[in-house]
Amino acid sequence: MTSRVRSLDLTDPVTFVENDVHDFWRDVRAERPVHWHEPTGGNPGFWVVSRYDDIQSLYLDAALTSVRGNVLDVVLRGDDSAGGSMLAVTDGPRHRRLRNLMFSAFTPRVLGEVVEKVGRRAHDLVSAAVGADPFDFAAEVAEKIPMNTICDLLSIPPADRKDLLEWSKTALSSGHAEGTELDALSARNEIVLYFMDLAQERRDRPGDDVISMLATAEVEDRPLTVEEIAVNCYSLILGGDETSRLSAICAVLELIRNPGQWDELRTGGVSHESAVEEIIRWATPGMHLARTAVADLEVGGHTVRRGDIVTLWNISANNDESVFEDPRRFTLSRSPNRHLSFGHGPHYCLGAFLGRAELRSLLEALVTHVARMELCGTPRPIYSNFLNGYESLPVRFEGR
């Protein structure tokens, strides 16, 4: 095993900013695709799984649970306080019942109106950005589409949306290396407290919205508590905001870096649907998911013991040469494109349809209003061991 595979600390956000992670994961897949990450900084050790086939299989394995948490930082600290309450960290029959309830918020009837607003918002934001002056695409366009989309779905008052966006941006990442876990924890608590108040309001005075639906529904013959409603709204906000925002930023950056692909998209040489899938694969905004073994199991010739933490690195799986030809080539026409950015199996992302719709609307707006895009500075990366991408992207758009 090379010194790089041995030495990089996957718990440290700086690792993912100061190193070429794709070179690292290529070495890991080749040399030690399943290996034990030694304890660091007072954290326990954990298993690292890097190959596509192993990860896809483990998403279906009942010997791994998400109840203790599904993000490395949380699992390393111990149990997730939302375990058994939040859909993403619930398993078994309760997960199925809760998912069925949540899925009712994502029916065509509900989403039709939301997706319509996504399209209008994307066109308005992109057309307003076209001109001679540089601007920050992340701040002026990318962050305004997904957060408003989820807030539309949840009927969040417009006056509250700015605070929710700031909390969301802090909850899983930081804009600088000195960002602390206390900052993230405080942001997460603010989101949950906000939704607890809102859940109680909607329970007392229900309307025709998703939170009211959750507040008046029953799972396993009892109403959800305001805490259970709040953590599931929290999950929708973080999942719907961060991943879509980072994918949108990645889309513009890679279209600038790959002008031939931009020409293909702009002239209709590649479908928007195909382009969306490649952007989501390339971006892989959520680098990993974590699980805990509830029974001994074999993974890649290694014995994982009951109680061990297992991390599934989607960012590696999505660049596995055995599945994706020339994976580090940005190819909007790539087919097939069975990426794992939305996960796999029972915990497949509930908002996948909406995330795709947001990205497709952005591409349609770019093709309609923009002839040329130019990078006007250095993109500023986020600091996270979970999220992958940039928090700032200075660009200039030349109109058609």
Mean pLDDT of all residues in 29-43: 95
Q: Rounded CA gap, 235 and 285, in Å?
A: 15
pLDDT at 179: 64
Summarize pLDDT for 279-327 with one digit per residue, the tens.
Answer: 999 999 999 999 999 999 999 999 999 999 999 999 999 999 999 999 9
> What does pLDDT average to over the chain?
93
Give the three-class secondary structure for 35. Answer: strand
Summarize pLDDT for 217-231 with one digit per residue, the tens.
Answer: 999 889 999 999 999
pLDDT at 171: 81
Summarize pLDDT for 315-359 with one digit per residue, the tens.
Answer: 999 999 999 999 999 999 999 999 999 999 999 999 999 999 999
3-392 under CATH 1.10.240.10, yes or no = no
Beta-bridge partners for 277: none
Sequence ranges of the domains in the chain: 3-392
The fraction of the chain above a pLDDT of 70, given in percent, is 97
The DSSP symbol for 286 reads B
| 2 pLDDT tier (thresholds 50, 70, 90) | low
Single pTM value for the model: 0.94
Q: Is the pLDDT of residue 362 over 80?
A: yes
| 176 pLDDT tier (thresholds 50, 70, 90) | low
Summarize pLDDT for 107-141 with one digit per residue, the tens.
Answer: 777 788 899 999 999 999 999 999 999 999 999 99
Give the three-class secondary structure for 223. Answer: strand
pLDDT at 106: 79
Helix axes 352-369, 108-129, angle to 10 degrees: 30
pLDDT at 83: 92
Give me the long-range contacts of 16-23 (CB less than 8 A, separation at least 24). Answer: 16/287, 16/381, 16/383, 16/384, 16/385, 16/388, 17/177, 17/381, 17/383, 21/315, 21/388, 22/319, 22/328
Summarize pLDDT for 70-91 with one digit per residue, the tens.
Answer: 999 999 988 888 999 999 999 9
Q: Is the pLDDT of residue 3 over 60?
A: no
pLDDT at 6: 63
Least confident of 121-130, 149-158, 309-318, 386-395: 149-158
